[in-house]
Amino acid sequence: MKIAKNSKKEKWDLLSTKKLMKKLLDETHNLKDVELPNDTIKIDDLNRKQALERLYELIDDLIEKIYANGKPVVELPSRSNSNIIWDEESDLLLLGKQIQKKYFHSLTSVADITRLMRVLEIINELLLKDMHATKREIFYTDVKLFQDQKNSDKSLEDVATMLYTTRNSTHVVASARGSCVGRLRIRDRNDIIDLEGLGSGGWGISPMLDNIEIIESDAEFILVVEKDAAMMRLAEARFWRDYPCIILTAQGVGNVAVRMFLKRLSKELRLPVFSLVDSDPYGHYIHSVYMRGSKRLSYESPFLATPDIKLLGVLTRDLDKYKVPGDCRLDMNKTDLKRTRELLKEDFVKKNKEWAKDLELSLKLKKKAEIQALSSHGFEFLTEKYLPEKLTTGDWI
Q: Just list the catalytic residues.
A: 140
Closest CB to another protein among 55 and 269? 269
- Beta-bridge mates of residue 165: 44
State which residue, 13 or 342, has the beta carbon closest to another protein: 13
The CA distance from 109 to 102, in Å, is 6
* CA dist., res. 248 & res. 88, Å (int): 27
Cα→Cα distances 252→226, 258, 266, 282, Å = 5, 11, 20, 9
Closest to another protein by CB, 65 vs 187, is 187
By beta-carbon proximity to another protein, the closer residue of 58 and 214 is: 214
Q: Which is nearer to another protein, 137 or 242 (CB)?
A: 242
Close Cβ partners of 33 (under 8 Å, ≥ 6 residues apart): 302
Give me the least distance between CB of 364 and another protein, in Å please. Answer: 39
Taking the complex as a whole, the smallest distance from the CB of residue 29 to another protein amounts, in Å, to: 16
User: Residue 157: left (phi > 0), alpha (psi -120 to 50), or beta?
Assistant: alpha
- Nearest CA-CA partner of 134 in 165, 166, 167: 167
We find the least distance from the C-beta atom of residue 163 to another protein, in angstroms, to be 23
Residue 312 near residue 355, CB atoms below 8 Å = no
Near another protein in 169-228, by CB under 8 A = 185, 187, 190, 192, 194, 213-218, 220
Handedness of CA 153, 154, 159, 161 (dihedral sign): positive
Burial code (b: 16+ CB inside 10 Å, e: under 16) for 59-78 equals eeebeeeeeeeeebebebbb
Minimum separation from the CB atom of position 161 to another protein (A):
28
According to the binding rule CB under 8 A, does residue 130 interact with another protein? no
Contact code string over 246-285 relative to another protein, x by CB under 8 A = ----------------------xxx---------------
Q: How far is the CB of 80 from another protein (least distance, A)?
A: 39
Q: Bridge partners of 193?
A: 186
Q: Is 225 helix (H, G, I), strand (E, B) or coil?
A: strand
Q: Kindly state the number of chain residues that form the binding site for another protein, as judged by CB under 8 A.
A: 20
> What is the closest distance, in whole angstroms, from the C-beta atom of residue 257 to another protein in the complex?
21
- Closer of 270 and 366 to another protein (Cβ): 270
Q: What residues numbered 6-35 form the site for another protein, per CB under 8 A?
A: 18, 21-22, 25
Asked if residue 319 lies in contact with residue 369, where contact means CB atoms within 8 angstroms, the answer is yes
Beta-bridge partners for 180 = 203, 248
x-marked contacts with another protein along 226-245 as a string, rule CB under 8 A? ------------------x-
Query: CA-CA distance, 371 to 228, in Å (whole number)?
Result: 11
CB of 243 to another protein, least distance (A): 11
Which of 220/318 has CB closer to another protein? 220
Question: DSSP assignment, residue 44?
Answer: B
State the angle between helix axes of 256-269 and 281-292 in degrees (0 to 180), rounded to the nearest 10: 60
Measured distance CA(40)–CA(85) in Å, rounded: 8
Where along the sequence are the contacts to another protein (CB under 8 A)?
18, 21-22, 25, 185, 187, 190, 192, 194, 213-218, 220, 244, 268-270
